[in-house]
Structure 1
Amino acid sequence: MPAPLCNALGDYVDLLLDAVCAVDREGRFEFLSSGAERIFGYPAAEMLGKSMLSFVHPADRAKTLEAASAINTGQIRLDFENRYIRKDGQIVHLLWSARWSADKQQRVAVARDISKLKQAETRQRALYAISEAAFAAENLPALYYHLQEIVQQLIPIDGFVIARLTAADTLTLAYQYIAGGFGLESVLAEDCYVRLLAADSNGLPSVVQCINQQSAWLGVTLKSPEKLLGALIVKTPEPLAVVGNDDAELLEFVAQHIATAIERKELLARLHHYALYDDLTQLPKRELFYDRCRQGLANAQRNSTRLAICYLDLDGFKPVNDVFGHAIGDALLQQVALRLQQSLRKNDTVSRFGGDEFVVLFSDVTSAAAVLAKTETIRLELSRPFILGSHVISITPSIGIALYPEQGETAEQLLALADQAMYQAKQQGGNCCVLR
């Protein structure tokens, strides 16, 4: 090729955004176009004569050597990807096309920076993974664990802490993982999220680094569109490591979606609670009681034991609302629920069916006499006066009882019979227990 044309082509090569490189058989750089400095961050003079492997990300060196060996045998590679570490410490993702030049005894290659494409793909995968975790996790601790796994796949970390703000604006550690134990690392993590939230309250950037001689932590705020939820803090694996801008931006992106996932999970938990628990007394509603009753019946059938259902109605509750108002009536129902809970064992269940009606499930009872003794204890407990503000209110319960297997074999049968027995107690003047 004539020298003027060769020089002209060289000028064109230097205009390319891609890097054109040539290395010898051992992988030492012999030529670098101007685009190489834009991609690698090093002037060509600092790379010439040095092995390419000294610039390759350690995790990609083995596959890079394998690809180089194949190219040296005459293979042409058009789609090889690996990562290099720039002079400023940032990681750059490269797509290579390369072939072996027999006459020059060189590998000639063109490298294209695909870091932005990789970042977009990584963010998209993270978004899918976070959304899937929010849907699949059974509860918040399980969600936090899944989120830790997702972040560990995106960024090399060996510490992951989620700090949450409570309703009283105090910090609590909702989740904490630190490889190798806690100790001083916990102190540094705490310092990081305290500084982070202080910076956020002053309108400063939402990313904070906390570094000492042992480790480096990076913290980002967890924010929903409506409020600040807390902070996410991760620990980098190398002492005094400074997380690159790309990793910081990625973690900030992930944190935004983590906040959304946490808020969505909490909303679903609240909706689930409202669906199953009475808003006034926090006792199980009818649907949850039926579920526990069926479980109790299955256990009783399997173990040949008894259970009992007691239907309870408050005598004279309506006049309480009429005389003292519904606020006092609601407070009375809350106190009744509390006394009922305090009168039961852990494996028993009390539910509010509506109004002033409560139903109790006694599991694993020994005899009818034992059930009558339990319900008599409840009757006496509810007959004690209730002090509600400046008011002293006395009420009594009417209680109907049905036993399994003597009176019925299904939850529906037992509830119907216990309800009938409760009305018999009412007809007898109330303030008594009737066994069906």
Structure 2
Amino acid sequence: MNTTGFEALSQYIDLLLDAICVVDKAGRFEFVSAGAERVFGYTPQEMLGRQMLELVHPEDRARTIQAANDVNAGALKVDFKNRYIRKDGQIVHLLWSARWSAADQRRVAVARDITTSQLAKQRQEALYAISQASFSSEDLSELYHNIHQIVANLMPLQRFAIVLQDNVDELSFAYDVSDNALLAALSEDSFSQLCQQVIDHAETILITQDNLKKQSPSVRLLVKDKNLNWLGVALKSHTAVIGALVLENNSGTAVYASAEVEVLEFVSVQVAVAIERKQMLQRLQRSALYDHLTQLPNRELFYDRFQIAVLRAQREQTQFALLYLDLDNFKQINDQYGHRFGDALLQQSAQRILSCLRQSDTVARFGGDEFVVLLPQTTTENYVMQLAEKIRKVLNQPFQLSEQLVQIAASIGIASYPQHGQSKDTLLSHADNAMYAAKKAGGNRLVYSDGNVAKS
């Protein structure tokens, strides 16, 4: 191709903010205008002879090859968008217009930098996506996963972590995912300490090979001479810093810079609000279904699990059992040592009961010192009696509380489905009456329901 015409026009072409590029059929640059340096960061001399695809973002190469083939076949492209990696490692979003010159066997294209508008659009889309995720996610784990996907669509990352700080300033990695391609450079201890600095100072920390010497002494001490591409921003709610959002990418790929910092800082505010909202909803849901003192299921959750056990027993033609349990002499101990002592005794009693159960079993606090245990899929009466005896024995062991050694016992009533009834009220009544029979007999014992419900 005769480039004399281009050279004659270069004094005018170079005034354009857009980049004009001419590539041969193999995709090598044969001419670039001065505007290319503003767009790509390379001088025209550095670009001549290079393969165009070397500069294309890896995730966009397949689309770019297809578009180039379409142009080479005669198609006119006027709105093709892709991303390139600049000389400084930053990502630039480009809008291309391109056509094929059959006479010269060259592809002529004009590239416009649309990074600013694309990032603004991405921020708005991310804001909407995070808002949707905060409402649609079933729990915090799903919310964290959704946030990961949203951020991954905004910028390259090979490690994504949500680090939260609790009320006693302990860090927890609520979500931390990295792919196999990440060349881990930091120890986990150094990674945690960097996160702590982000949270303590409520500031963004960006670490790249180019800015390492500008970091504070404490950061340089943690990083040493590692070649990092690390970005951490504080998660700031309306009232406090609740944690940090951290990204890491291999240093040899796209390098984080001011554009990524700006986007992530914008996103982090929305993420903090979404996390706090979901945490609040989970606390409200838990308080509605769990006993505040013992953290055991309350009546509402127990009734729900009871109904599930009934449906399963009907479907599979199996049986299950209920244990109604009351702590003997609890009132006297509570009156003697005080309510705080009594509360601690209830908490430890709950944990001892839990230690005897299977994961599929449920123990609920029904109020005061009364507990009800649901044992789904129990095969024999002997198994139920053995388990109830195990609970009785473990509760009969001394409790060490506030330097006081106290001993209690338990009266336990037992009823089975469908032997003693098929409704919640009937089975609970049988188990409750059996428990009172155990108390009347002196306590610290088991009584299996005889099937007769006493009338009040």
- Is TM-score (shorter-chain normalized) higher than 0.5? yes
Match of 1:169 in 2: 169
Q: 1:328 aligns with which of 341, 345, 369?
A: 341
| Aligned equivalents of 1:23, 1:219: Cα separation in 2 | 37
Match of 2:52 in 1: 53
Instruction: Quote how far apart the aligned CAs of 1:186 are.
Output: 6.4
Instruction: Quote how far apart the aligned CAs of 1:50 are.
Output: 5.8
Matches within 5 A, 1:216-227: 216-225=228-237, 226-227=239-240
Q: Match of 2:152, SS?
A: helix
Match of 2:372 in 1: 359
Q: 2:250 aligns with which of 234, 237, 243?
A: 237
Task: Please say which of residues 61-70 and 416-425 is displaced more in the overlay.
Answer: 61-70
| Aligned equivalents of 1:180, 1:151: Cα separation in 2 | 19
| Aligned equivalents of 2:316, 2:164: Cα separation in 1 | 44
Match of 2:355 in 1: 342
Matches within 5 A, 1:37-48: 38-41=38-41, 46=45
Q: Which amino acid aligns with 2:286?
A: H
Query: What do residues 210-234 of structure 1 show as CA deviations (whole Å, max 9, x unaligned)?
Result: 7788853313134232444444443
| Aligned equivalents of 1:61, 1:387: Cα separation in 2 | 68
Match of 2:125 in 1: 125
Match of 1:158 in 2: 158
Q: Match of 1:409, SS?
A: coil
| Aligned equivalents of 2:131, 2:444: Cα separation in 1 | 54
Match of 1:6 in 2: none
Q: 1:400 aligns with which of 409, 413, 416?
A: 413
Match of 2:453 in 1: none
Q: Which amino acid aligns with 2:232?
A: V
TM-score norm. by structure 1 comes to 0.76
Match of 1:81 in 2: 81
Instruction: Quote how far apart the aligned CAs of 1:126 are.
Output: 3.0
Q: Given the superposition, is the C-alpha separation of residues 22 and 180 from structure 1 closer, same or farther in structure 2, using an over 3 Å criterion? A: closer
Q: Given the superposition, is the C-alpha separation of residues 178 and 431 from structure 1 closer, same or farther in structure 2, using an over 3 Å criterion? A: closer
| Aligned equivalents of 1:23, 1:249: Cα separation in 2 | 34
2:249 is aligned with 1:250? no
Match of 1:194 in 2: 193
Q: Given the superposition, is the C-alpha separation of residues 280 and 199 from structure 1 closer, same or farther in structure 2, using an over 3 Å criterion? A: closer
| Aligned equivalents of 1:175, 1:227: Cα separation in 2 | 20
Query: What do residues 107-155 of structure 1 show as CA deviations (whole Å, max 9, x unaligned)?
Result: 7765433211111222233334444444455544444444444433332
Q: Match of 2:321, SS?
A: strand
Match of 1:19 in 2: 18
For these two proteins, the number of residue pairs brought into alignment is 424
Q: Given the superposition, is the C-alpha separation of residues 30 and 223 from structure 1 closer, same or farther in structure 2, using an over 3 Å criterion? A: closer
| Aligned equivalents of 2:280, 2:409: Cα separation in 1 | 38
| Aligned equivalents of 1:345, 1:109: Cα separation in 2 | 69
Contact between 1:375 and 1:399, CA under 8 Å: does it hold in 2?
Answer: yes
Instruction: Quote how far apart the aligned CAs of 1:179 are.
Output: 3.3
Match of 1:3 in 2: none
| Aligned equivalents of 2:448, 2:77: Cα separation in 1 | 86
Instruction: Quote how far apart the aligned CAs of 1:252 are.
Output: 3.7
Instruction: Quote how far apart the aligned CAs of 1:198 are.
Output: 2.8
Match of 1:185 in 2: 184
Instruction: Quote how far apart the aligned CAs of 1:289 are.
Output: 1.8
| Aligned equivalents of 1:384, 1:83: Cα separation in 2 | 69
Instruction: Quote how far apart the aligned CAs of 1:93 are.
Output: 2.0
Match of 2:293 in 1: 280
| Aligned equivalents of 2:379, 2:50: Cα separation in 1 | 82
- The two structures, once aligned, show a CA RMSD in angstroms of 4.3
| Aligned equivalents of 1:334, 1:24: Cα separation in 2 | 75
Contact between 1:189 and 1:233, CA under 8 Å: does it hold in 2?
Answer: no
Instruction: Quote how far apart the aligned CAs of 1:318 are.
Output: 4.0
| Aligned equivalents of 1:295, 1:57: Cα separation in 2 | 56
| Aligned equivalents of 2:195, 2:309: Cα separation in 1 | 50
TM-score norm. by structure 2 comes to 0.73
Instruction: Quote how far apart the aligned CAs of 1:343 are.
Output: 4.1
Contact between 2:162 and 2:174, CA under 8 Å: does it hold in 1?
Answer: yes
Q: Which amino acid aligns with 1:123?
A: R
Instruction: Quote how far apart the aligned CAs of 1:407 are.
Output: 0.8
Q: Match of 1:216, SS?
A: coil
Q: Match of 1:94, SS?
A: strand
Instruction: Quote how far apart the aligned CAs of 1:285 are.
Output: 1.1
Q: Which amino acid aligns with 2:117?
A: L
Q: Match of 1:403, SS?
A: strand
| Aligned equivalents of 2:428, 2:375: Cα separation in 1 | 13
Query: What do residues 44-69 of structure 1 show as CA deviations (whole Å, max 9, x unaligned)?
Result: x6479667837852545665566566
| Aligned equivalents of 2:24, 2:359: Cα separation in 1 | 75
Q: Which amino acid aligns with 1:127?
A: L
Q: Which runs of 5+ in 2 are unaligned?
A: 1-8, 210-222, 450-456
Q: Match of 1:154, SS?
A: coil
Query: What do residues 90-114 of structure 1 show as CA deviations (whole Å, max 9, x unaligned)?
Result: 3322324456789999877654332
Q: Given the superposition, is the C-alpha separation of residues 22 and 385 from structure 1 closer, same or farther in structure 2, using an over 3 Å criterion? A: closer
Q: Given the superposition, is the C-alpha separation of residues 99 and 409 from structure 1 closer, same or farther in structure 2, using an over 3 Å criterion? A: same
